[in-house]
Amino acid sequence: DIQMTQSPSTLSASVGDRVTITCRASQSISSWLAWYQQKPGKAPRLLIYKASSLESGVPSRFSGSGSGTEFTLTISSLQPDDFATYYCQQYDSVWTFGQGTKVEIK
């Protein structure tokens, strides 16, 4: 099975900061990678699919990049609504998720 390693597990940042989260796959998954935002008690919200495609309705401050085994999610200017937990997911084969990154207020 493909393992997904996400880092960091926790990130402290301020409003306006540029934030980057990294996800590494244990083998190549081409571009079959998605990023989600999740808030307590809510379902995951799809932000990015196919590594770099922005889901409809998602603000343009979110962007994704990478292919093969290395991927990043970038928030260009952190907003108050962005404090949440973020997950990466590979869907090249049976799905696997990263461990999550909690973005906290600094």
Partner 1 sequence: EVQLVESGGGLVQPGGSLRLSCAASGFTFSSYWMSWVRQAPGKGLEWVANIKQDGSEIYYVDSVKGRFTISRDNAKNSLYLQMNSLRAEDTAVYYCAGNEMATIVWGQGTLVTVSS
What does the binding site for partner 1 look like in residue numbers (CB under 8 A)? 32, 34, 36, 43-44, 46, 49-50, 53, 87, 89, 91, 94-100
Least distance to partner 1, CB of residue 14, Å: 25
> What token pair was written down for 43?
């379902």
Least distance to partner 1, CB of residue 94, Å: 5
> What token pair was written down for 14?
């301020």
Least distance to partner 1, CB of residue 77, Å: 26
Nearer to partner 1, 83 or 91 (CB): 91
Asked if omega into 8 is within 30° of 0 (cis), the reply is: yes
Q: Tell me how far apart the alpha carbons of residues 41 and 3 are, in angstroms, rounded to a whole number.
A: 26
- Please measure the distance between the N-terminal and C-terminal CA atoms of the chain and give it in whole angstroms: 36
Nearer to partner 1, 17 or 92 (CB): 92
Q: Tell me how far apart the alpha carbons of residues 28 and 3 are, in angstroms, rounded to a whole number.
A: 11
Least distance to partner 1, CB of residue 72, Å: 18
